[in-house]
């Protein structure tokens, strides 16, 4: 099975691309015949990724609000307040990481669009 290394600008890491991708819908050799087809396919995939980021960030904001409400409403040494604090911390950290990942995805989309033009 042939394989070659690729550079992923989103995760900024190398990964091995093999001919096995041809079995899952990628063109033979793992490459599209021209740049415009590549950009179109990756832009379509990134639209789905953007939608996933939007949903994840909305859920994280809701969890931050719910966690904050639990911390404010219940007295400090209680189980609901501890659950609220845990939700607040976890959702806040996830929100920060997802915001950075979303920014990287936007940069990747801009880069793809610059190739197409």
Distance from C-alpha of 24 to C-alpha of 39, rounded to nearest angstrom: 18
pLDDT tens sequence across 55-83: 999 999 999 999 999 999 998 889 999 99
Q: For residue 108, which of 69, 56, 53 has the smallest C-alpha distance? A: 53
The residues near 110 (Cβ < 8 Å, ≥ 6 apart) are none
3-state secondary structure of 32: coil
Q: For residue 57, which of 108, 85, 94, 87 has the smallest C-alpha distance? A: 94
**pTM (whole model) above 0.85:** no
More confident residue, 2 or 11: 11
Structure tokens at 30: 């793992």
Domain boundaries, the chain: 1-31, 34-116
pLDDT tens sequence across 87-96: 999 999 999 9
Q: Given its phi and psi angles, is residue 74 left (phi above 0), alpha (psi -120 to 50 degrees) or beta?
A: beta
């Amino acid at each position: 099975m042939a394989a070659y290394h690729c550079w992923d600008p989103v995760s900024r890491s190398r990964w091995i691309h093999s001919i096995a991708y041809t079995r899952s819908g990628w063109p033979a050799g793992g490459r599209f015949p021209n740049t415009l087809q590549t950009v179109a396919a990756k832009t379509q995939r990134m639209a789905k990724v953007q939608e996933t980021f939007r949903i994840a960030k909305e859920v994280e904001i809701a969890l931050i609000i719910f966690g904050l409400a639990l911390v404010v409403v219940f007295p400090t040494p209680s189980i609901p307040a501890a659950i609220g604090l845990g939700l607040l911390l976890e959702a806040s950290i996830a929100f920060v990481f997802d915001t950075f990942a979303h920014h990287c995805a936007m940069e990747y989309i801009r880069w793809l669009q610059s190739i197409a033009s």
